[in-house]
Amino acid sequence: MFKPLAQSIAHAATRSKRRGCIVVVLAAILLPAPTAMAGLEAAGAFLPLRFEAAELEVDGRSLHDVRLAVSEAGEFSFESGQLRGTDGGILLDPLVLEGRIDDLRLGDDGLEALGLARYEELDAGWSLDSGEDSVTVCLQPEARPLGAFLARKNLSAMTGWIREGRVDACVRYEQPPGGEDALDLELNLGEVSFDSPDGRFAAEALALDIEGRLLFDEPLALDIRGTVRGGEILLDNFYSNFTTAPLEFVLSPEFDDHGLARAAIELMDDGALQVSARLKPDKGEQAWRIDVDRLHLGFPGAYRRYLEPIAAAWTLDGLQVTGTVDWQGSLAAGEIESGDLEISDLSVVDTARNRFALTGLNTSLRPGDYSRDSKLGWQGLLLGRINLGAGEALLDSEPGAFALLEPLGLDVLGGRLELGRLRYALPGSPSASAGRSRFELEASLSDIDMEQLTAAFDWPRFSGRLSGEIPGVRFENGVLDVDGEIAVHVFDGAITVRELAAERVFGVLPSLSADIELNDLDLEQVTDTFEFGRIGGRIDGHVSDLRMLDWSPVSFDAWAGTPERQGKSSEISRQAVNHLTSIGGGGATAALTGPLMRMFNNFSYKRLGLGCRLANNVCVIRGLEDDGQGVLILEGAGIPKITVRAFNRSIDWPQMVANLGAISSGESVTIGEPQ
């Protein structure tokens, strides 16, 4: 056996300088880290062999300081210096590998061998099958953690995240007659589990199969195909479970003398997701250009497997989504250059929280193509309990953005909603990158039936019509800002909202801030609405520095009172006097229960004023005047003359809200006693 083996080695060295180097290069690729080993037992008798070369070269790539030794016991050691590329750059660091040969067979078909190797304290079984046109090397780690298999010098600390997993690998080198050399890789990862210290990245029982082929052509070409066939993975806000829906992928990079020249990517997930894209360096390799031939999302699969975990950050999880979305276009340096969008029969229904429902959405967008009308139509649109019905809009779209081509009018709650301007830009679009707001809106409301509106929001019912203007709305970085003022005409007066801003509107703990002005409201309509008791006259007021968290007030400075222009007295009912007394924490100076007072159901008052400064769940009361003992809330007029003062200046805000609710339901409430 030994003589034919020696002859075979000598013949291989003289016949194929390339093949001898490729076998060594394969070992360097598989085990690229220095190591030490001792104590292996001999498996039999072998011909001692020692081989040294200052340099082995193949296709311009050179491996330096190569040393190979095999002992009679079958123990071997392999050392090499750096592997350098065609440009002299370092491809692999020096390598030291030791192990043993358990079996070696040489026949007419070639050379077969198997044994054990060790590096970085990792044992791995290996096998070698060398024929006329191919060399196959396979590795089988011996029940070692995946983290130990990946551990090597200067590798990222992420390998320490791995808790368990197994890996199988096989590499095959082929040199077909008349064809290009090829290198095939099979890699199987199973039961992979890892988690990062901060909990943002994790996997459980992840299974991954990869096949790759490298062609030693000019230029080099690599084709990688794989399947994520099981397990769960969490990448920050992205989560997916591949147990019932495997994800297939294809990656085909191409190289030139400067490195990666271009790459093609495909993703496939059983109708839920399909991506076909091409990438190449752009603008001096400082950025990438991505041409997407097709991005297909099929619902509900795409939502459940890929979008829902991300949407959950805006409390948009638990939606019922059907339909399809298709997009093709190009991105350069992170900006959208072009893109055609097709949406077919898309329905999005918030079945979990009943906030909105959109059904039958169809659209065809051709950004920048002004010879073609881009349309958006829907069969149904429901916001809370407000039904906006079906509609259709013409869109003027540009790459990465769309806007209304003409104003859109919708019938709503017995009135009209006019969208004078509506524009939205996708992240990474040219206009968004130029600093322009991603969301812009101008709208107006006219003649809205307040009874229908209050019923839709489950507010206290009141009649009247509502009209208002929304001059401009911007949405950027999760913050919604309203430009200018929102004017609402209601209660025969006007309510003006300024400095309106909101954050996390669909997220956790939404917040809102605003300044509100009340101007010349009909107080009788207001009090009738909230069943407070009838109070005649007009009222002005404000709510300054309003701050709300989760749609509940946490701070403000509010005032409502009789305007100075109201010169004559107005009437107030006995019920309203009692409720004012309860809110203020005191009583009327004249006893309403006296024999004379029982004869009157209505009284006259000259002026009314009540303020509240809210902070830390405490409402500090103020009124028209302060005499040191209490603040004046109501100044009477005529006979009998009544006066209402507040003696309890600090009131628990949650209790005050509960009392106002009790007032609306007709219950009697008393807060505090005169000092």
Average pLDDT, the chain: 79
Beta-ladder partners of 611: 559, 622
pLDDT band at 32 (very low <50, low <70, confident <90, very high): very low
pLDDT at 512 over 90: yes
pTM: predicted TM-score of the whole model, two decimal places: 0.67
pLDDT band at 587 (very low <50, low <70, confident <90, very high): very low
pLDDT band at 2 (very low <50, low <70, confident <90, very high): very low
Instruction: Give residue 141's pLDDT.
Output: 63
304 or 367, higher pLDDT: 304
Question: What is the 3-state secondary structure of 525-552?
Answer: HHHHHCCCCCECCEEEEEEEEEEEECCE
pLDDT over 70, % of the chain: 78
For 222, the 3-state DSSP assignment is strand
pLDDT digits (tens, 9 = 90+) for 324-343: 999 998 887 767 777 788 99
What residue has token string 């394969």?
26
264 or 244, higher pLDDT: 264
Euclidean distance between CA atoms 93 and 88, whole angstroms: 13
169 or 536, higher pLDDT: 536
- Asked whether the beta carbons of 527 and 610 are under 8 A apart, the reply is no
pLDDT band at 594 (very low <50, low <70, confident <90, very high): low
Instruction: Give residue 270's pLDDT.
Output: 85
Euclidean distance between CA atoms 551 and 508, whole angstroms: 11
pLDDT at 624 over 50: yes
- Residue among 426, 435, 420 nearest 367 (CA): 426
29 or 457, higher pLDDT: 457
Calculate Rg over the CA atoms of the chain.
39
- Which residues, including other chains, have CB under 8 Å from residue 304's CB and lie 6 or more apart? none
What is the pLDDT averaged over residues 238-253? 89
- Asked whether the beta carbons of 314 and 307 are under 8 A apart, the reply is no
- Asked whether the beta carbons of 57 and 21 are under 8 A apart, the reply is yes
- Asked whether the beta carbons of 417 and 443 are under 8 A apart, the reply is yes
Instruction: Give residue 248's pLDDT.
Output: 94
What residue has token string 């064809």?
179
How far CA 283 is from CA of 252, 286, 339, in Å, comes to 22, 6, 21
231 or 586, higher pLDDT: 231
What is the pLDDT averaged over residues 107-117? 84
Parallel/antiparallel/unpaired status of strands 221-235 and 247-256: antiparallel
pLDDT digits (tens, 9 = 90+) for 364-382: 887 666 666 678 899 999 9
pLDDT digits (tens, 9 = 90+) for 467-503: 888 888 887 777 888 887 888 888 888 899 999 999 8
Parallel/antiparallel/unpaired status of strands 335-349 and 374-378: unpaired
- Asked whether the beta carbons of 505 and 480 are under 8 A apart, the reply is yes
What is the pLDDT averaged over residues 547-568? 90
What is the pLDDT averaged over residues 265-283? 89
Instruction: Give residue 599's pLDDT.
Output: 57
| One-letter identity of residue 170 | C
Euclidean distance between CA atoms 481 and 475, whole angstroms: 6
Instruction: Give residue 70's pLDDT.
Output: 87
Instruction: Give residue 669's pLDDT.
Output: 40
pLDDT band at 436 (very low <50, low <70, confident <90, very high): low
- Asked whether the beta carbons of 438 and 427 are under 8 A apart, the reply is yes
pLDDT at 578 over 90: no
pLDDT over 90, % of the chain: 25
What is the pLDDT averaged over residues 583-607? 62
Measured in degrees and rounded to the nearest 5, phi and psi for residue 295 equal -125, 110
What residue has token string 């909230």?
530
Helix, strand, coil proportions of the chain in percent (round to 5)?
Answer: 15, 55, 30
- Asked whether the beta carbons of 542 and 559 are under 8 A apart, the reply is yes
Please report which residue ranges of 190-328 form alpha helices under DSSP H: 301-302, 308-311
